[in-house]
Chains A and B, each alone.
Chain A
Amino acid sequence: MAVLSGILIDGLSYGMILFMVSVGLSVTMGLMRVINLAHGGFALLGGATAHWLTTNTDLGYYFSVILAVLATMIFAIAMEKIFYRKIYKFTELQQVLATIGITFLMIASVNFLLGSTILPIRSPEFFSSSVDLGFRTLPVHRIVVIIAGMAIALGLYILLDKTRFGIQLRAAVDNRNMASSLGINTARVYALSFALGAGLAAFGGILGAELLPIDAYYPLRYMVLFLVVVAVGGLGSIAGSFFAAIGLGIIDTAARYIVPEYGTIFFFIAMILVLLLRPQGLLGKK
């Protein structure tokens, strides 16, 4: 019983961290259909900025995080205007090559400026304390991540399904020429969506840093993790990514509780099974 509740609670919180770090990719790759391997790069830039701000200024954690996310979004808009505009039109393989190239540039820049050691983000003291749930304790930052993850999932659902911007984005992705001829400023919609994806990447990178610490090689270290969550969830479905992240989190955690010697094999078996039975992912459209 203790093991079962442990698996559920740790699995949920780990799954939520997986969701947080991959939701940005779910927007850029899932919705906008650009194979954005530089997703982890934006998370790295956000995390590195937050590291620099929290260790070198007196802005405080919350303000630093907001500033880091905004800075990443502004950078992303510039990147979109210079590079990604062209990358959208590339074939899939060209997109992979172009975005992995951008990733390497980001890694090298951070490595050059801040070095290759861990870049810790100084979070408020109470993040590191733990809450007693009666039968076990849970670190506060996990609770923060769970709440933030729920809020983001809900916020994105409303933004994409219920607002005018969401309708415009879906229209632009489905048929750009038609959307454009109906008077939708598709260039603007794309730029904003890309910035949204990058901002979510930065936010996820910062909040997830308690488990997946930020260092210059972050984008490569965790690239597979992001891609698996989005692929299993199904391209274009935020809800899919959400359930995939939670499911994979629980499976991986259960394996670590019960059979740690098998490593992460169950995580990948789950991925293979889902993709065999549903190549489009859990909630992806064909």
Chain B
Amino acid sequence: MKKTIKLMAGVGAISVMMASAAFADHTVKVGVIAPFSGPFAIWGKQFKEAVEVYVAQNGETAGGHTVEFIYKDSGGPNPSGTKSLAQELIIGEKVDYLGGLVFTPNALSVASLIDEAQIPTVIFNAATSSIVLQSEYFVRTSFSLWQVSVPMAEWAWEQGIKTVVISVTDYGPGNDAQVAFTTAFEALGGEVLDAIGMPLSTTDFAPFMQRIKDQSPDAVFAFLPAGPPTFAFVKSYNENGMKDAGITFLGTGETDETTLEALGDAAIGLTTAYHYSAAHVSDLNQAFTSKLDEMFPGSVANLASVGAYDGAHILYQMIAAVGSDRTKAVDVVRGYEWESPRGPVSLDPDTRHITQNVYIRRVAKDENGNLINEEFQTIEAVPDLGLL
């Protein structure tokens, strides 16, 4: 173990020397680690497409440096594999920056490595609050569950919702969402009647719907991993007459653009709090989504796309300012403010996590008959409340 650390430190030192000896106008390489195969391949696809749209719009150079993106496939949650990919990128490909990272354990696994090699790393997704505290080289352009769950609780209270049953998948992010919502909702005087931790492998949600219904709360707050579980849960909510029983659905990312069409018309009216909707009304978002559609017909923008698009923007800012002299790169973007397709955002100077608007949305049909997340209320400039 000790040997490995020494070796890594040595490697880190060498790569730093090589980097500072390099010329100012050489190509700056960015390694992007994400799943490109397996059940989570959609993440890698969304990342890559968004980065390519950013490059198409802003050119291949940042402040005179040519930027080259190198993509590596991490598969699913796989900390040891991710760490060796990062090592390979730093030592073999001699990248100066890293990006991507979908799962929390994967992001955590590179923390010590990027500290030693001094590699600024922009997290496009991995959303557990504490990750950014593990290394000063982490910058995050996604969101955290605290960031969206607390505004959801506050909005629910304003609507006159007094009692809630929380129903979350029993794993890290689910627990984060539960604690965040409970803390905020109880502080306002609301009552959480029950908190159900649903097993990760659940396929039939009917029993939970019955349990929720029996307690007749004003609303149910849910969080589940994207994909089949979310799909089955929302279907179950609709089919068990929850809406008719007067139980409002409160969620966060359940109506993600890539699963929204699959949910069909039954999804109309579902309320969620989130940081990005592909239907966000702004010129920049319009430019982003139409370019995405032009370059990759049939693709829809979602949270992964905007995380990667803003991630590319931050990488460009750092590269334009310092090139491959990366040790100072993170300091350049502390407190940096810009406009994202999701709205006005900034990087918190201390936590290096994105401060952003959180939107309350409901699922509706646009003029072409497509399902969208329609934003109707904005909570401005929310930091990662889980880090306060």
Contact = CB atoms under 8 A, between A and B. Distances in A.
A213 B197 contact: no
Nearest to B235: A210
Interface in B15-49: 38-42, 45
A12 to B, nearest CB: 11
A111 interface: yes
Contacts of A10: 204, 206-207, 210
A57 to B, nearest CB: 17
Contact of A14 (B200, B206, B235): B206
A282 to B, nearest CB: 22
A128 interface: yes
B344 interface: no
A253 B240 contact: no
Contacts of B203: 211-212, 222, 225
B133 interface: no
A177 interface: no
Interface stretch (A38-46, A76-84, A116-124, A155-163): A116-124
A188 interface: no
A260 B240 contact: no
Contact of A130 (B201, B202, B208, B239): B239
Contact of B207 (A130, A257, A261): A257
Interface string B226-252: 011001100100111100000000000
A269 to B, nearest CB: 14
Nearest to A13: B206
A264 interface: yes
Chain B contact residues: over half helix, strand or loop, or mixed? Answer: helix
Given A215-B227, A261-B197, A116 B208 contact: no
Interface in A110-151: 111, 115-120, 122, 128-130, 136-137, 139, 141-142
B214 A213 contact: no
B161 interface: no
B199 interface: yes
Nearest to B40: A116
B95 to A, nearest CB: 27
A137 B214 contact: no
Given A120-B262, A217-B38, A257 B228 contact: no
Contacts of A212: 203, 228, 232
A117 B210 contact: no
B11 to A, nearest CB: 35
Given A128-B266, A215-B227, A264 B199 contact: yes
Interface residues of A, number: 43
Given A10-B204, A117-B259, A215-B227, A257 B211 contact: yes
Contact of A116 (B42, B197, B199, B264): B42
A118 B207 contact: no
A115 B49 CA distance: 15
A204 to B, nearest CB: 14
B239 A211 contact: no
A74 B158 CA distance: 58
B228 A215 contact: yes
B102 to A, nearest CB: 13
A72 to B, nearest CB: 21
A128 B238 contact: yes
A6 B214 CA distance: 11
Nearest to B35: A116
A141 B228 contact: no
B170 interface: yes
B208 A137 contact: no
Contacts of A130: 239-241
A263 B240 contact: no
A17 interface: yes
A119 B228 CA distance: 10
B77 to A, nearest CB: 14
Nearest to A51: B262
Contact of A263 (B200, B206, B207, B259): B200
B262 A139 contact: no
B319 to A, nearest CB: 31
A152 B382 CA distance: 55
Nearest to B43: A116
A260 B262 contact: no
B91 interface: no
Given A137-B240, A213-B232, 20 more contacts: A14-B204, A14-B206, A17-B204, A111-B41, A122-B264, A128-B266, A136-B210, A139-B206, A141-B239, A211-B203, A213-B231, A215-B228, A221-B39, A252-B204, A253-B206, A256-B207, A256-B208, A262-B199, A263-B199, A263-B200
10 residue pairs, one from A and one from B, having the closest CB atoms:
A263-B199, A139-B239, A120-B262, A256-B207, A217-B39, A118-B262, A14-B204, A10-B206, A257-B207, A213-B228
5 contacts: A118-B259, A220-B39, A256-B208, A263-B201, A264-B199
Interface of B: 38-42, 45, 170, 196-204, 206-208, 210-211, 214, 227-228, 231-232, 235, 238-241, 258-259, 261-264, 266
Interface of A: 2, 6-7, 10, 13-14, 17, 111, 115-120, 122, 128-130, 136-137, 139, 141-142, 210-213, 215-217, 220-222, 225, 252-253, 256-257, 260-264
